[in-house]
Amino acid sequence: MTWALKRQILYILGLLIFFGAIALYFLWPYINKPPTCFDGKQNGTELGVDCGGGCVRACSFEVDKLSIFWSRSFEVVPGRYNAVSYIENQNPNKIIRKIKYRFRFADKDNLYIGQREGETFVPPAGKFAVFEPAINLGNSIPVYTTFEFTEAPLWENVDPSVVDQLNLVVYDINLTNEDSTPKLSAVIRNDSLFVIPDLNAVAILYDDLNNALSVSSTYVPVLNRESRVDVNFTWRAPMSKKVLTKEIIPMFNIQNIRLK
């Protein structure tokens, strides 16, 4: 090999290395992308594909299924009913931003008479209620009420410190006019530093056997930090049995709270 040919080869190799280095400089960010929670791969601190670890989305194997304890319908006026499903989320610091559901109603012969669909959020760790008001079933009487979620849940992790700081206290629960037009009053106190908008409080009355007698709901547009609000629930007719226990469940979407 002549010296001139060697020089040409070295020159070509130098050019290839030079242009290769430039190409690698521009392509490296695309080749060596840092792991994200949206890249369709299990990488970084993820426990599954784009879930767990540092991701907002929780993996399905990290969570327990929601427990549906019971679902019932209660007559408000002839032909109209309130429906409620009593559910528990056993997963601390895990929520569902929104999920669709369906109530179905059947008569004493277990014949389908109607349904109501909706969408709700699932709060972290605790019992909650899904409430549907004023369901028109005409002349049919719902004896059987079933409830189901109609789509797969998308669980999300929520900051444990936020959950720990939220503290709503329900007290001064008082039922009056029980033999005519019952009225339930109570106070909900927000001991946290968070402003809570769109709070729905669901009231459930129970008999001595802990069977639900009726339900009602009231809406609070906003519950400010370190403040309280009086809530009231009413019924048009007395209960079928003596009320022994009264439960009030404050419902709010933790995604919507804010520091003032």
Whether 166-260 and 48-158 are alike in CATH topology: the answer is: yes
Over residues 180-196, the pLDDT tens digits come to 999 999 999 999 999 99
State mean pLDDT over 137-145: 95
Over residues 53-69, the pLDDT tens digits come to 889 999 989 999 999 99
Range with lowest mean pLDDT among 12-26, 67-81, 161-175, 185-199? 12-26
Measure the CA–CA gap between 178 and 239, rounded to whole angstroms: 7
Q: Is the pLDDT of residue 137 over 90?
A: yes
Distance of CA 190 to the CA centre of its chain: 20
Tell me if 204 sits within 8 A of 182, measured CB to CB: no
Q: Name the CATH topology of 48-158.
A: Immunoglobulin-like (2.60.40)
Burial of 21 by CB count in 10 Å (0-12 exposed, 13-18 middle, 19+ buried)?
Answer: exposed
Domain ranges in the chain are 48-158, 166-260
Give the model's confidence band at 259: pLDDT under 50 very low, under 70 low, under 90 confident, else very high. Answer: confident
Tell me if 137 sits within 8 A of 79, measured CB to CB: yes
Over residues 204-257, the pLDDT tens digits come to 999 999 999 999 999 999 999 999 999 999 999 999 999 999 999 999 999 999
Measure the CA–CA gap between 201 and 83, rounded to whole angstroms: 15
CATH 2.60.40.10 fits 166-260, yes or no: yes
State mean pLDDT over 130-145: 96
Over residues 11-69, the pLDDT tens digits come to 666 555 655 556 555 554 555 566 678 778 888 787 889 898 889 999 989 999 999 99
| The pLDDT value given to residue 41 | 83
Which single residue is written with the structure tokens 């392509």?
27
| The pLDDT value given to residue 45 | 82
Closest CA to 85 of 232, 251, 227, 236: 251
